[in-house]
Amino acid sequence: MVTLQLRQLRVPPGQRVLLEELAWPEFEAILAELGEHRGMRLAYSHGTLEIMTPLPDHEVSKELIGDAVKILLDELGLDCECFGSTTFKREEMSAGIEPDNCFYLQNHALMRGKQRLNLAVDPPPDLAIEIDITSKTQLAAYESLGVAELWRYESNQLKISVLTNGHYIDMESLAFPNWPVSEAIARLVQRSKTEGRSPALREFRQWVRGQIISMRDDE
């Protein structure tokens, strides 16, 4: 048997490594050795660990979609707590995940000021965002952790899935009901590539404000 040190592991941007038949203590040991300040992203589900390094396009899309959620919440006067790419894990569920971005919406008050998470007592995020460029989202891990709503962006499309009876079903957002967020956010990402990030976000904010006025007029 050949034993390798984690410091020998190099995952080029856009690539991934799968480790199979990995026990939970080994997953915890890898998390501890790699530490929090790293470019690699980890996802663990029932003995399989995926380690991937995102491409720049992945990071740009992640930030844009996260900013779009913040604009929506801000314009609607809704509070949130953003936990970014925090590691969420539960040993009894044999699952651990690091979303590209995540938000506490309904449970924002419970999570205010939290420095450490324990999903045995703390709720999972209400909304998680994944950019499926380098690899596919591990739905099983998200289902095990009980994340209520999952947004996955891939190939210029945003897919919204809502946890229903323990499994994800593609449907309209529960976080933003009656809002065509899939089309608007896909348009935002595409606009940013031609107009730039800041103009695209300003245009998105104006669209949100217009939608709010339209909805009020229809009441």
How much is the pTM?
Answer: 0.87
Q: What is the pLDDT of residues 19-76, one digit of tens each?
A: 889 999 999 998 888 877 677 888 999 999 998 888 888 889 999 999 999 999 999 9
Query: How far apart are the C-alpha atoms of 83 and 143, rounded to whole Å?
Result: 18
Q: Which residues contact 120 (CB under 8 A, 6 or more apart)?
A: 90, 92
pLDDT in tens, 88-143: 999 998 999 999 999 999 999 999 998 888 888 899 999 999 998 656 678 889 99
The per-residue pLDDT for range 166-181, each reduced to its tens digit, is 999 999 999 999 899 9
Residues 183-194 have a mean pLDDT of 95
Tokens coding 173: 């957002």
User: Judging by beta carbons within 10 Å of its beta carbon (0-12, 13-18, 19+), is residue 116 exposed, middle or buried?
Assistant: exposed
Q: What is the pLDDT of residue 2?
A: 46
* HEC assignment per residue over 4-60: CCHHHCCCCCCCEEEECCCCHHHHHHHHHHHCCCCCCEEEEECCEEEEECCCHHHHH
Cβ atoms of 126 and 149 within 8 Å: the answer is yes
What confidence score (pLDDT) does residue 1 get? Answer: 45
Domain architecture of the chain: domains with CATH: 55-218 (3.90.1570)
Which two three-digit tokens encode residue 91?
Answer: 């040993």
Residue whose token pair is 């380098």: 134
With contact defined as beta carbons under 8 Å apart, do 37 and 106 qualify?
Answer: no
